[in-house]
Amino acid sequence: MSQQILIVEDEADIRELLRFNLEREGFTVHEAADGTQGLALARQYTPDLVILDVMLPGVDGFEVCRRLGAQSETSHIPVLMLTARGEEVDRVVGLSLGADDYVVKPFSVRELMLRVKAVLRRGGRTAESPVLERHGIRLRTEAHSAEVGSDMLNLTATEFRLLEDLLRHAGSVRTREQLLNNVWGYSFEGYARTVDTHVRRLRAKLGEAAQDLGCTDRKSTRLN
User: What 3-state DSSP class applies to 79?
Assistant: strand
Q: Which one, of 51, 191, 62, lies nearest residue 109 by Cα?
A: 51
Of 51 and 166, which CB lies nearer to Ca ion in the complex structure?
Answer: 51
Residues between 84 and 103 that touch Ca ion (CB under 5 A): none
Write a three-state SS string for 5-62: EEEECCCHHHHHHHHHHHHHCCCEEEEECCHHHHHHHHHHHCCCEEEEECCCCCCCHH
| Residue selected from 10, 60, 147, 196 as contacting Ca ion according to rule CB under 5 A | 10
Residue 186 Cβ, how far from Ca ion at the closest point, in Å? 26
Question: How far apart are alpha carbons 102 and 82 in whole angstroms?
Answer: 6
Q: Among 7-15, 123-131, 148-156, 162-170, which window interacts with Ca ion (CB under 5 A)?
A: 7-15
Alpha carbon 180 to its chain's center = 13
Q: Which is nearer to Ca ion, 55 or 148 (CB)?
A: 55
Site string for Ca ion, 200-219 (x = CB under 5 A): --------------------
83 vs 141, which CB is nearer to Ca ion? Answer: 83
- In the chain, the amino acid numbered 155 is L
The helix/strand/coil state of 95 is coil
Using CA atoms, how far apart are residues 132 and 146, in angstroms rounded to an integer?
Answer: 9
# binding residues, Ca ion (CB under 5 A): 3
Q: Please say which residue, 18 or 166, places its beta carbon nearer to Ca ion.
A: 18
Subset of 36-65 contacting Ca ion (CB under 5 A): 53, 55
Q: By C-beta, is 81 or 180 nearer to Ca ion?
A: 81
**Chain positions contacting Ca ion, by CB under 5 A:** 10, 53, 55
